[in-house]
Amino acid sequence: MDFGAYKHIEFRRKFWKLFGAEIAVSDATNQQLIGFIKMKAWQLKEDIRMYRDKSMSQELFGIHARSVIDFGAIYDVIDSTTGQPIFSLRRKGLRSTFVRDYWELFNPAGQQIGYIQETSSTLALIRRYLEAIVEFAGLIFMFVPQTYEININTQDGGKTLVGQITHRKNPFIVKLSLDTTGAQITVDPRIAVAGTTMLAIVDASKG
């Protein structure tokens, strides 16, 4: 599967599902299914697998947590065909909880190569602090879109955009849209796809 052939990818799951989650990954242009994720309920150590379709007969890549429960766990993304690591992600727990969502990206050698960051910074702060002090504020902000950027670090200490993510909800469907049309550099497309997958899984794990 060459995810690089698709510039607009949608990750969809049903809002209400009692046990686990199923996420359909589609080409946003024609709604052709290009991937499928099934998340088990009550799973302490994350073991996420991207399949080619709902038959789950062809596994494309896996995302595996290095520890069972860790506020800042590292997740390794593994090519399911070769068994080789592609890259790793680590969520900055405190920063993501109290400021805005932030994930570090690492190459197989453990060197940081980029990050995923929530871009709606003011809204992110308002969302977090109102939810902490105002009852039902979480319900109000639940359906307000969240936006993210995926960036790769440059040698001069700057950043290069490789993708943008928009997270939307309604009472029936949760959708994350990955847009790579504005990418300023060519990287392994699975970085953006697996990064979006993790955002989708973290959201689904909230219930």
pLDDT by 10s per residue, the chain, length 207: 889 999 999 999 987 665 667 899 999 999 999 999 987 765 555 788 999 999 999 999 999 988 765 567 899 999 999 999 999 999 875 444 445 789 999 999 999 999 999 987 655 555 555 554 444 545 555 667 889 999 999 988 899 999 999 998 887 889 999 999 999 888 999 999 999 999 998 888 765
Residues 152-159: contacts with CB under 8 Å, at least 24 apart:
152/105, 152/113, 152/114, 152/185, 152/187, 153/112, 153/113, 153/114, 153/115, 159/114
Token output for 181:
């049309």
The owner of tokens 């024609």 is 30
Domain 3-205 has CATH 3.30.390: no
